[in-house]
């Protein structure tokens, strides 16, 4: 990645879940830290999210789910990302994700799963350190 | 009296200068801007006219309560929000809760049901039975209420865009049980505007959505007369980050929009306003919450009397359900939530709730288990029977702080309502993104306060401990999707297809014209048309709402 280029992030809400307080707060915090941030809005299909990641040429994709549908939707998104050749962008998960589900999600290529209580500082540092260079 | 106040004022100033200011002390404020004084005295309530502004419970302006004897006459309805997995599992949970002394039901539906998709729709994958019970057809609804006599129950259903259909299914279950509609008690949420702003389970655009709502108003005014036709909701705005003042203001703005829609549809205000009910969020600031409900009661009475010229005192009455704040629960040290829930529940009771749901301590992590939901029900029962909190009406009334705060909140809510009127009402304010923006600002400010440590959240930014991962959480059966798909397939094969088709074609005709949609929807559900088929017909005629989002 070009040194001068700002990190481009897509904050996305897959599935039917409308709880986007966290997604919006995070989108805003990332933007305030100097990143270019796109927020997908709620009720996006995996196809729509992957298409947006491609079109917007993002470095990091943050997926937020609180409804419990991550077990279906996250694998589907990872599959589509690989199909589109986007396998190397940084993928992060968040929302209400039971701890026992995390290892499975990581094995799919989701770099980290954050939960309630995470600070924006932790997240920003994580992205800055792990975003593909 | 005036002389007394002057004397108190003088003494208050003297005390402040010679006594208080010798000490260093913290200055508190409300997150909606009010600076809280270190001490309240009669000076702060001097401009309040007891008879005019506060009055007596059961009488205008109802500040002290909608009913004269309040909890002395009848306790609030204990109504935990529940439902998950299949209809069978949900029925089992309801029977358990009723056995444990719960006095009403509150149905949580899964997201496909709330958004009008059947379980076999591609968008339902992964979501079936997760955040609530899956309902595809009347058969599921029959199972949910199996063995539960609807004439003896009060049922609240959190359902909005697809409210007319789920309500019709409830009516059809009643019919099968031989219960006449005038014996049915309960409510459907039926509040679409806040779905556009914060909750997200919208289907149709604003116009047709308001038509569905007013069709329900009209239908119930003659057919299901004791049913609360709408449960205007502030709860979700608060969860999304709104302050207590914004919560009431934006909810009232939505309600004003619904009343205007009802009047525009040709109803008289007193024909439907008495059946409006509310759901709010009882959060952590104990005194603010109590004052909030007192302010809401008197302000709503004034709005109904002055703005809408309602004549029936029942139209003036603000009757509310409240749930403790899910967003105040922490995933860290989850047992601490037991304490938070208890205080919030007490605030709701002292605020004069008619119906109450207390969150369970494990809800920041998962849906509650039988044990955790029983504990939160017991919390209500302990407050009801052991604390003396229900031994007199509005025990907080007369507190200088509470009365002053009640008035300040009323004023601040009114400011917001004036602003929304200037924008052209709630629907216009939502279209302009005003309400969403206001809530987002509050949410962001809150998060920054937590992260900076200005706002202490025990276990999250202070007093943390290393803890093992939580155990014993409820997990929805991963097979629920499969089970539901099989049930749906079997039902589709067994039903009378001709009846389904003709009822759906009648529905389509009605949707294109002006007829009340409740009748053809009721016929369709009785023919076992699916929720998705019925919503599909309406989607075809009405189109769909296009969500927008800003950060």
| H or E, element range at B367 | none
β-pairing, B320-324 with B276-282? parallel
- Verify cis geometry, omega within 30 degrees of 0, for the bond prior to B61: yes
Q: Measured between CB atoms, which of B366, B547, B549 is closest to A98?
A: B366
Q: Do B201 and A31 touch (CB under 8 A)?
A: no
Q: Which residue has the higher pLDDT, B243 or B476?
A: B243
pTM: 0.97
pLDDT at B2: 72
- For chain A, strand residue ranges (E) read 8-12, 36-39, 60-65, 90-95, 112-114
Which residue's entry shows tokens 């491609």? A54
Q: Do A117 and B332 touch (CB under 8 A)?
A: yes
Q: Inter-chain contact A42–B549, Cβ cutoff 8 Å?
A: yes
Asked if B184 and B226 touch (Cβ cutoff 8 Å), the reply is yes
State pLDDT tens for residues B54-98: 999 999 999 999 999 999 999 999 999 999 999 999 999 999 999
Nearest C-alpha of chain A: how many angstroms from B469? 7
Burial category of A96 from C-beta neighbours within 10 Å (exposed 0-12, middle 13-18, buried 19 and up): buried
Name the residue ranges covered by the structural domains of chain A. Answer: 8-130
- Spell out which residues of chain A touch residue B336, defining contact as CB-CB under 8 Å: none
* Segment 192-251 of chain B within 8 Å of chain A by CB: 195, 198-201, 239-241
Q: Of B201, B444, B460, which is closest to A117 when you measure between CB atoms?
A: B460
Tens of pLDDT along B247-282?
999 999 999 999 999 999 999 999 999 999 999 999
Q: Is B463 on the interface with A (CB under 8 A)?
A: no
Tell me what the pLDDT averaged over chain B comes to. 97
User: Is the CB of B313 inside 8 Å of chain A's CB atoms?
Assistant: no
Percentage of chain B exceeding pLDDT 70: 100
Is residue A2's pLDDT more than 70?
no
Instruction: Inspect the interface and report whether the beta carbons of B127 and A24 lie closer than 8 Å.
Output: no
Q: What are phi and psi of A130, to 5 degrees?
A: -110, -5
Pick A116's closest partner by Cβ from B364, B440, B550.
B364
For domain B50-452, say whether CATH 3.40.605.10 is its number: no
Residues of A with CB below 8 A from B134's CB?
none
pLDDT in tens, A71-114: 999 999 999 999 999 989 999 999 999 999 999 999 999 999 99
What's the mean pLDDT when you consider all of chain A?
95
Chain A residues near residue B125 by CB distance under 8 angstroms: 69, 72
Chain segment A14-29, per-residue pLDDT in tens:
999 999 999 999 999 9
Say how many residues make up chain A: 133
B48 touches chain A (CB under 8 A): no
Q: Give residue B1's pLDDT band: very low, low, confident or very high (50, 70, 90).
A: low
Contact B293, B351 (CB under 8 A): yes
Residues of A in contact with B466 (CB under 8 A): none
pLDDT tens string B231-242: 999 999 999 999
Task: Identify the CA nearest to B258 among candidates B225, B294, B233, B222.
Answer: B233
pLDDT of res. B263: 98
Q: What residues of chain B lie within 8 A of the CB of A24, using their CB? A: 440, 443-444, 549, 551
Does the distance separating the beta carbons of A121 and B451 come in below 8 Å?
yes
Q: Are A92 and A112 in contact (CB under 8 A)?
A: yes
> B457: distance to nearest CA of chain A, Å?
10
Q: B327 vs A42: CB contact, 8 Å cut-off?
A: no
- Say whether pLDDT at A1 is over 60: no
- CA B466 to chain A, closest CA, distance in angstroms equals 14
Chain segment B195-245, per-residue pLDDT in tens: 999 999 999 999 999 999 999 999 999 999 999 999 999 999 999 999 999
Per the CB < 8 Å rule, is B200 touching A20? Answer: yes
Q: How far apart are the first and last CA of chain A?
A: 5
How sure is the predictor about B549, in pLDDT bands with cuts at 50, 70 and 90? confident
| CATH, range A8-130 | 3.40.50.280
pLDDT at residue A3, as a whole number: 57
Q: What is the pLDDT of residues B127-184, one digit of tens each?
A: 999 999 999 999 999 999 999 999 999 999 999 999 999 999 999 999 999 999 999 9
User: What's the confidence (pLDDT) of residue A85?
Assistant: 95
Interface of A with B (CB under 8 A): 11, 15-21, 24-25, 27-29, 31, 37, 39-43, 45, 67-73, 96, 98-100, 115-117, 119-121
B485 touches chain A (CB under 8 A): no
Is B549 within 8 Å of A18 when comparing Cβ atoms?
no
A89 to chain B nearest CA, in Å? 23
Distance from CA of B490 to the nearest CA of A (A): 25
CA distance A49 to chain B (A): 14
Asked if B547 is an interface residue toward chain A (Cβ–Cβ < 8 A), one would say yes
Four-residue CA torsion sign, B202, B205, B206, B208: negative
- Tokens 């005709």 -> residue: B509
The residue of chain B nearest to residue A29, with distances taken between CA atoms, is B444
The 3-class SS string of B256-283 reads: HHHHHHHHHCCCCHHHHHHHEEEEEEEC
Q: What is the pLDDT of residues B2-42, one digit of tens each?
A: 779 999 999 999 999 999 999 999 999 999 999 999 999 99
A-B Cβ pairs (cutoff 8 Å, strict): 107
Question: What are the φ and ψ backbone dihedral angles of B236, each rounded to 5 degrees?
Answer: -75, -30
Mention every residue, 6+ apart, whose C-beta is less than 8 A from residue B446. Answer: B31, B241, B455
B550 band by pLDDT with thresholds 50, 70 and 90: confident
B462: which DSSP letter?
Answer: B
**What is residue B305's DSSP assignment?**
I
* Mutation to test the A interface, candidates B326, B454, B549, most A Cβ within 10 Å: B549
pLDDT at B515: 97
Which pLDDT score, from 0 to 100, does residue A5 have?
Answer: 84
The reply to whether residue B551 touches residue A39, judged by beta carbons under 8 angstroms, is: yes
C-alpha B414/C-alpha B421 separation (Å) is 10
Which three-class secondary structure string do you get for B465-502? CCCCCCCCCCCCCCCHHHHHHHHHHHHHHHCCHHHHHH
């Amino acid at each position: 990645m070009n040194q001068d280029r700002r990190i481009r992030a897509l904050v996305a809400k897959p599935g039917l879940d409308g709880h986007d307080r966290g997604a919006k707060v995070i989108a805003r915090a990332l933007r305030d830290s100097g990143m270019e941030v796109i927020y997908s809005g709620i009720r996006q299909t995996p196809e729509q999210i992957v298409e947006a990641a491609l079109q917007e040429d993002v470095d990091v994709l943050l997926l937020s789910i609180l409804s419990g549908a991550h077990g279906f939707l996250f694998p589907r998104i990872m599959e589509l990302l690989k199909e589109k050749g986007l396998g190397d962008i940084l993928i992060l998960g968040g929302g209400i994700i039971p701890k026992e589900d995390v290892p499975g999600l990581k094995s799919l290529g989701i770099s980290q799963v954050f939960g309630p209580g995470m600070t924006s500082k932790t997240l920003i540092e994580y992205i800055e350190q792990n975003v593909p260079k | 009296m005036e002389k007394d106040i002057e004397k108190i004022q003088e003494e208050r100033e003297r005390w402040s200068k010679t006594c208080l200011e010798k000490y260093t002390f913290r200055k508190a404020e409300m997150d909606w801007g009010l600076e809280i004084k270190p001490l309240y005295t009669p000076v702060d309530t001097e401009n309040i006219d007891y008879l005019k502004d506060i009055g007596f419970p059961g009488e205008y302006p109802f500040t002290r309560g909608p009913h004269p004897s309040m909890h002395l006459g009848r306790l609030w309805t204990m109504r935990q929000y529940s439902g998950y997995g299949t209809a069978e599992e949900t029925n089992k949970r309801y029977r358990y809760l009723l056995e444990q002394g719960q006095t009403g039901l509150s149905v949580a539906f899964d997201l496909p049901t709330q958004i009008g998709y059947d379980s076999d729709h591609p968008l339902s994958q992964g979501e079936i039975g997760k955040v609530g019970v899956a309902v595809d057809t009347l058969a599921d609804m029959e199972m949910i209420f199996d063995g539960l006599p609807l004439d003896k129950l009060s049922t609240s259903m959190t359902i909005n865009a697809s409210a007319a259909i789920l309500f019709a299914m409830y009516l059809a279950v009643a019919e099968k049980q031989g219960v006449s509609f005038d014996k049915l008690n309960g409510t459907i949420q039926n509040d679409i505007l806040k779905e556009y702003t914060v909750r997200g389970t919208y289907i149709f655009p604003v116009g047709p959505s308001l038509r569905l709502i007013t069709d329900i108003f009209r239908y119930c005014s003659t057919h299901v007369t004791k049913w609360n036709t709408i449960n205007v909701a502030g709860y979700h705005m608060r969860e999304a980050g709104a302050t207590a003042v914004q919560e009431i203001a934006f909810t009232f703005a939505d309600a004003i929009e619904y009343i205007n829609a009802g009047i525009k549809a040709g109803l008289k205000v007193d024909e439907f306003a008495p059946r409006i009910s509310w759901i709010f969020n009882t959060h952590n600031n104990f005194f603010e919450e109590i004052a909030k409900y007192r302010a809401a009661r008197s302000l709503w009475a004034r709005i109904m009397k002055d703005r809408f010229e309602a004549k029936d005192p029942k139209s003036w009455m603000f009757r509310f359900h409240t749930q403790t704040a899910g967003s105040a629960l922490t995933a860290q040290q989850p047992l601490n939530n037991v304490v938070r829930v208890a205080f919030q529940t007490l605030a709701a009771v002292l605020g004069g709730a008619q119906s109450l749901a207390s969150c369970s301590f494990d809800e920041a992590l998962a849906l509650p288990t039988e044990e955790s939901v029983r504990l939160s029900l017991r919390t209500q029962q302990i407050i009801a029977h052991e604390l003396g909190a229900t031994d007199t009406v509005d025990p907080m009334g007369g507190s200088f702080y509470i009365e002053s705060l009640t008035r300040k909140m009323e004023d601040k809510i009114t400011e917001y309502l004036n602003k929304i009127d200037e924008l052209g009402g709630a629907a216009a304010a939502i279209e302009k993104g005003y309400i969403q923006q206001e809530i987002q600002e509050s949410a962001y400010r809150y998060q920054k306060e937590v992260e900076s440590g200005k706002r202490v959240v025990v276990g999250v930014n202070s007093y943390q401990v290393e803890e093992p991962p939580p155990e014993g959480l409820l997990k929805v059966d991963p097979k629920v999707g499969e089970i539901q798909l099989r049930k749906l397939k079997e039902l589709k094969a067994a039903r009378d297809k001709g009846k389904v088709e003709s009822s759906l074609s009648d529905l389509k005709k009605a949707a294109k014209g002006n007829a009340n949609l409740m009748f053809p929807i009721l016929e369709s559900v009785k023919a076992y048309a699916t929720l998705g088929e019925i919503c599909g017909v309406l989607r075809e005629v009405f189109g769909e709402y296009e969500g927008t989002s800003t950060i």
